[in-house]
Every structure is written in C-alpha cells, then in structure tokens.
Amino acid sequence: MHPTLSRRVASAALALAAALAERKGRALEMVTVHPSTAHPDISATMSAEIETWSRTRAQAYLESMAEQARRRFNIEVRTTVLEGGAATAIAEHALANPPELIVMSTH
C-alpha cells in the first residue's frame, strides 16, 4: 500500500513501492486521504460542490500516477481514496486490508 500526500515526494516513494511490488510479483495499492472540507461558514451546497471537486481531483491524480507505475513497472495497480483524517483512515484501511508493506510519501 502506498499512501500519497505530496506530489513530488509521492513520485519518489511511488518508484520505490512499484519497484518492490514488481520484484515481489505483487499488486500495488495507491491510497490518498480526502479530508472533509465542511466548515460552519460554508453552505451545505457549496461544501458538497467543493467535496465533489476535491475528491474527483484526488482520484484523477491517483489514476494518473497509477498509470505511470503500470507502464513503467508492468504491475497491477489499484487506487483508493479514503475519507477523514490521514492517520485514522490509513490505519483503519490497513487493518481491514492488511498490506505486506506500507510505503508513505509524507507524514
């Protein structure tokens, strides 16, 4: 599992994670955490629009990075966008879907 947070650092961590997956003959799951954008000063409608836009961008970014890893390393790559706080979301996801290794790019 490769949680992504910062694009530049994520690119370097992705190369490491993908190389390990290729060497071990395993699939790679790329994960990012989408925090809530809810705020008391923002209307529910505006907040929903921001959430949708932000989540769509996060998924598109992951898919773009995943495609690069697929082409470069010829491995299976899955993507997952989690919701909430990064530490809790990643820990809960790892407990529900135990990875052999977690390579993190930041935090």
Distances from the Cα of 25 to the Cαs of 22, 65, 79, 95, 99, in angstroms? Answer: 5, 19, 18, 22, 14
pLDDT digits (tens, 9 = 90+) for 32-67: 898 887 788 889 899 889 889 989 998 998 999 999
Residue 27 burial (CB < 10 Å; 0-12/13-18/19+)? exposed
Backbone angles phi, psi at 42, to 5 degrees: -115, 135
Q: What is the pLDDT of residue 1?
A: 55
pLDDT at 86 over 60: yes
Q: What is the pLDDT of residue 3?
A: 53
Mean pLDDT, to the nearest integer, of 81-95? 94
User: Which pTM value belongs to this model?
Assistant: 0.80
DSSP state of 47: H
Task: Identify the helix (H) or strand (E) that includes residue 73.
Answer: helix 44-73
Please check the confidence at residue 107 and state whether its pLDDT lies above 60. no
